[in-house]
Amino acid sequence: MKKINPSPSCLVGYRSTCPIANVLDIVGDKWTLLVVRDLLLSGKRRYGEFQSSPESIPTNILADRLKRLEAAGLVKKEFYQNNPPRAEYFITRKGAELGPVLQEMAQWGQKYIPGVIIPSQFNQPEIRD
């Protein structure tokens, strides 16, 4: 009796074939999407800029999330000087296309969470792949 693996090899180790579950494995936590928000909506690029956001992300978490976002291909890290090493982070096309997810979240939040404030203007991000 032959047994056929029901999930394609590229999803080995994943929780399921559900797209939502797989997206959550990338951005399903309290911080990752806030970094994407800063890159995408606030035009931030540098470590210190992310730290200065009002949620005050812990520095080790920020370092970790930038690494993961880069590994997932949502963020491109580019050094603008070698010594000491200093980098800027850019959102990729893949990362930028999470924009609609953020938008829908913001809309829902605006409707159901009293007191939240949607900024009146957004900075446009530079996309690099």
Partner DNA sequence: ACTAAGACTTGTAAATTGCAAGTCACAGAC
Partner DNA sequence: GTCTGTGACTTGCAATTTACAAGTCTTAGT
The residue ranges that bind DNA (CB under 7 A) are: 29-31, 46-49, 56-61, 63-64, 66, 83-87
| Residue 68 interacts with which of DNA, a second copy, none, CB < 5 to 8 Å by class | none
Query: What's the closest the beta carbon of residue 76 comes to a second copy, in angstroms?
Result: 15
Query: Residue 38, exposed/middle/buried by CB under 10 A (0-12, 13-18, 19+)?
Result: buried
Query: What's the closest the beta carbon of residue 1 comes to a second copy, in angstroms?
Result: 23
Query: Residue 12, exposed/middle/buried by CB under 10 A (0-12, 13-18, 19+)?
Result: exposed
| Residue 121 interacts with which of a second copy, DNA, none, CB < 5 to 8 Å by class | none
Nearer Cβ to a second copy (36/66): 36
Q: Identify the H or E element spanning 104.
A: helix 99-112
Nearer Cβ to DNA (24/103): 24
The Cβ-side half-sphere exposure at 43, using a 13 Å CA radius, reads 6
Contact call for residues 74 and 36 (beta carbons, < 8 A): yes
Contact call for residues 26 and 33 (beta carbons, < 8 A): no
| Residue 48 interacts with which of a second copy, DNA, none, CB < 5 to 8 Å by class | DNA
Query: What's the closest the beta carbon of residue 36 comes to a second copy, in angstroms?
Result: 9
- Compute the distance between CA of residue 106 and CA of residue 128 in angstroms, rounded to an integer: 25
| Residue 112 interacts with which of a second copy, DNA, none, CB < 5 to 8 Å by class | a second copy
